Structure 1
Amino acid sequence: MRDFLPADKARRERVLAVVRERYRAHGFDEIETPVMEEYGRLHAGIGGDNEKLAYNVLARGLDADGIRAAADDPAALTDLGLRYDLTVPLARFYASHRAELPTVFRAIQIAPVWRAERPQKGRYRQFVQCDIDIIGDATSRAEAELMTASLDALDALGLTGASVRINDRRVLDAMLATFGFAESERPGVLITIDKLDKLGTDGVVAELRERGATPAAADAFEAFLRRPQSDAAAFDADGIRSRLPEGVGDDVISHLVGIGEAVRSARGGSTEVPLVFDPFLVRGMGYYTGTIFELAHPSVSYSLGGGGRYDGMIGRFLGSDVPAVGFSLGFERLVDLLGSSAGDVRTGVVLVHDRDVPLPELLAAKAHLLATGSRVRLEQRPKNLKALLERAAADGYAAFVALRAGEDVGSVEPRRIG
């Protein structure tokens, strides 16, 4: 959990302003949910490993005896918890307000979440998530809208050339069935496959054998990984099939191709669609039911966001399934990647005044500058004016006015800093 100095805070807000503006331009509406949710909702088995990282809140009204009696039962000891993501609160929000929302609801959520992580570079206990979700649309249009809006946001931030790695949980399930993995062992097999980028083929196959996976299935999977293949397969039906074993249904491939065609059209009809089919993209959240994707940029090896379709989650709260799909930008990674280039626009005026300027004159001068639309900071003239102006520039100020007693600020021309 971090403090942010004014320059850092301003940079973060500029990035958020760009993302928010582009998302709103694509027809998404911003909502807000409480920072806390009920313990049972946060630990309903839909948050994956994040549930283990939740900060829980001690139930009110427990005395010492009550705490001792409930010490071995977290559900009895706590009744609330800080949200660890924005998807679970959104599902509860939609279930609570469905009658007041459009049939297809496009939501923006930009807010902090909390996880009891072990702090390290790029991993924080409090961080901002930047989500868009579409609820109520089961077609590929929803995925295409999310991807288009997110790629548009990156373009607006100056991060052109981004692409989306995409897969489908139904593809993964069909592949594992084709290789011969039993249904009961597939969740563990997916955990191992998710390490392919880190462990490579040899490491993944070795771990599968160590886990006691079906030997014949492990052999078939290894043979598939070692087959000759091209990394340059086009994002079309033939290109997707070329990266899959026999047995994956045409309907899933058609769904992926439809997303690609829609994104291509939305991006101006370019012959190159910014989507890359990755048959081994897993994403660890167990609530995904269909399409899954991650946002990639050539300047970094890690993803800048991701998401997927979670058609079964809202039904846990509503009693009937509602199609839903979401995309989350990795806001903290974006800010770190952009650094000082994150829309570094300096505006505003520093009103540097002599000590003897009467207060009414000083505030009248400030009011005059405010009326011109300027942001104004008052600073008494120091011995070292250069140091003051350098600090003001770092805080986002572009100009200064030097004011003496009895001087008409309207006749003083602002001077650029630096």
Structure 2
Amino acid sequence: MITVGRRAWKNGAVASVNPPRGMRDFLPADKARRERVLSVIRERYRAHGFDEIETPVMEDYDRLHAGIGGDNEKLAYNVLKRGLDADAIAAAAADPAALADLGLRYDLTVPLARFYASHRTELPGVFRAIQAAPVWRAERPQKGRYRQFVQCDIDVIGDATTRAEAELITATLDAVDALGLEGATVRINDRRVLDAMLDVFGFVADERPGVLITIDKLDKIGPTGVVAELRDRGATSSAVDAFEAFLTRPRTMEYHPYGERQIRAALPEGAPDAVIADLVAIGSAVAAARGAGEPPLVFDPFLVRGMGYYTGTIFELAHPSVDYSLGGGGRYDGMIGRFLGSDVPAVGFSIGFERLVDLLEDPETDAAASVVIVHDADVPLADLLALKAQLVADGGRVRLERRPKNLKALLERSAADGFTSFATAAAGATRETLQVKPLA
């Protein structure tokens, strides 16, 4: 029982007014800002031929823990089965699968794979999907890492050619440009290139997952740190020697734009020609779409991407203003086949919405379109609502506020809520007689 007056729960503790750790409330101005960013992203994605879908926030436990979500499966929030009594919970305590039958989605890719498998006959042969929605992970909360956050994904399902990657990259860069973050680039690699490199160096199959985890730290700990960690892991000594020799090989400072020469110069001998050709084709297509001689792509032979379900091309979105990625994705041709029994080609790109929205400045807005009408208590309500209706019909955003003792505080709060102008209304006021002034 909650005692409202004392703000206490039945155990006598004071009820917390804070959101759960790792989750946030958004004030009106923050929410409006986030929605503006989402609307730009959605509009640009739709312009490139993608269609938005929606899936439930929960999926079956077995699906979320089917081995296709990588380390994210360990971070899933599971939902306790209904109707379990204390004895049943105690008996199943060592088996999470016996306690839970549902879970909150930890990404949007697994639900998309299930969605496509469910609705394949109703969808086009090549399906281009938009998803913009919250996901949940039991992360350790810290700066920039939340337990609830929004993902913005686009995916192409049913196209095994490089056209899919080129469309995803072009649409993503277009969305970022439209948000005012010009100068973004995409780091690109291919898991088949990584596999070929590990073959050349001599790493055996069962040690490769750990080796890739270490290689993925190259930007953070450098070549010396990576080599030392590989030796500490007990990786094949001769393979580590070969890898170290490759990292420290003499190289010329000659610049090569993105293309075959740049890619081959960054790889050891024996890299697969067909994969290199695919990477070159993606660059050519993106360059043509962007109307530039050189595509905004950077080949990175040590880009790993941690998700084990990637089968081909992988990429990350970068911007010179920050030293971390703003999104990423790749090809995951094997995932949907887990539901259908036959492989379906698929590739996706996810924008890191939370990181992106923090970088953006608030856009300029039309001062005439967002107005607070301040009125005295004796102004007839009918007059106020008639005036408001006129302004709303013209496409404006209007709020009525009774004049307080502290008008300055009201105007400051209105500006914080996203309003850009105000006016004082007397009885009989019309939009023609209203004198609108900027809040700033």
Percent of aligned pairs sharing the same letter: 77
Of residues 223, 230, 234, the one that matches 2:257 is 234
**Ranges of 4+ aligned residues in structure 1 off by more than 6 Å:** none
Which amino acid is 2:277 matched to?
S
Q: Are 2:339 and 1:317 aligned?
A: yes
Of residues 343, 366, 377, the one that matches 2:363 is 343
Q: How does 1:1-400 map to 2 (within 5 A)?
A: 1-229=23-251, 230=253, 232-268=255-291, 270-338=292-360, 341-345=361-365, 347-400=369-422
The 1:260–1:407 alpha-carbon spacing in structure 2 relative to 1, beyond 3 Å, is closer
Deviation at 1:344, TM superposition (A): 4.6
Cα deviation 1:176-198 (Å, max 9, x = unaligned): 00001111111111011011111
2:318, 2:190 → 1: CA distance?
A: 17
Report the TM-score, using the length of structure 1 for normalisation.
0.97
The 1:356–1:62 alpha-carbon spacing in structure 2 relative to 1, beyond 3 Å, is same
2:430, 2:282 → 1: CA distance?
A: 63
Cα deviation 1:239-278 (Å, max 9, x = unaligned): 110110011110000000000000000001x122100000
Cα deviation 1:43-95 (Å, max 9, x = unaligned): 01111110000000001121111111111000111000000000000000000
The 1:106–1:408 alpha-carbon spacing in structure 2 relative to 1, beyond 3 Å, is closer
Which amino acid is 2:301 matched to?
P
Deviation at 1:381, TM superposition (A): 1.1
1:154, 1:367 → 2: CA distance?
A: 36
- What secondary structure is seen at the aligned counterpart in 1 of 2:149? strand
- What secondary structure is seen at the aligned counterpart in 1 of 2:302? coil
For the 8 Å contact 1:234–1:240, the answer to whether it is kept is no
Deviation at 1:348, TM superposition (A): 1.2
2:182, 2:255 → 1: CA distance?
A: 20
**Deviating more after overlay: 388-397 vs 221-230:** 388-397
Deviation at 1:365, TM superposition (A): 2.0
Deviation at 1:233, TM superposition (A): 3.3
Deviation at 1:417, TM superposition (A): 2.2
1:353, 1:127 → 2: CA distance?
A: 40
For the 8 Å contact 1:403–1:409, the answer to whether it is kept is no
1:267, 1:386 → 2: CA distance?
A: 48
Unaligned runs of 5+ in 1: none
2:135, 2:374 → 1: CA distance?
A: 41
2:160, 2:30 → 1: CA distance?
A: 40
For the 8 Å contact 2:387–2:429, the answer to whether it is kept is no
- What secondary structure is seen at the aligned counterpart in 1 of 2:336? helix
The 1:344–1:318 alpha-carbon spacing in structure 2 relative to 1, beyond 3 Å, is farther
Deviation at 1:329, TM superposition (A): 0.2
2:324, 2:430 → 1: CA distance?
A: 56
For the 8 Å contact 1:166–1:291, the answer to whether it is kept is yes
- What secondary structure is seen at the aligned counterpart in 2 of 1:334? helix
- What secondary structure is seen at the aligned counterpart in 2 of 1:313? coil
For the 8 Å contact 2:375–2:401, the answer to whether it is kept is yes
For the 8 Å contact 2:332–2:346, the answer to whether it is kept is yes
1:318, 1:25 → 2: CA distance?
A: 30
For the 8 Å contact 1:15–1:342, the answer to whether it is kept is no
Cα deviation 1:368-410 (Å, max 9, x = unaligned): 2222221110101122323322221222212222112344454
Aligned-residue CA RMSD (Å) = 1.2
For the 8 Å contact 1:83–1:113, the answer to whether it is kept is yes
1:140, 1:231 → 2: CA distance?
A: 28
The 1:218–1:390 alpha-carbon spacing in structure 2 relative to 1, beyond 3 Å, is same
Which amino acid is 1:96 matched to?
S
Which amino acid is 1:252 matched to?
V
2:296, 2:167 → 1: CA distance?
A: 14
Unaligned runs of 5+ in 2: 1-22
1:373, 1:284 → 2: CA distance?
A: 47
Report the TM-score, using the length of structure 2 for normalisation.
0.92
Which amino acid is 1:257 matched to?
V
The 1:231–1:219 alpha-carbon spacing in structure 2 relative to 1, beyond 3 Å, is farther
Cα deviation 1:215-238 (Å, max 9, x = unaligned): 000000000000123484321112
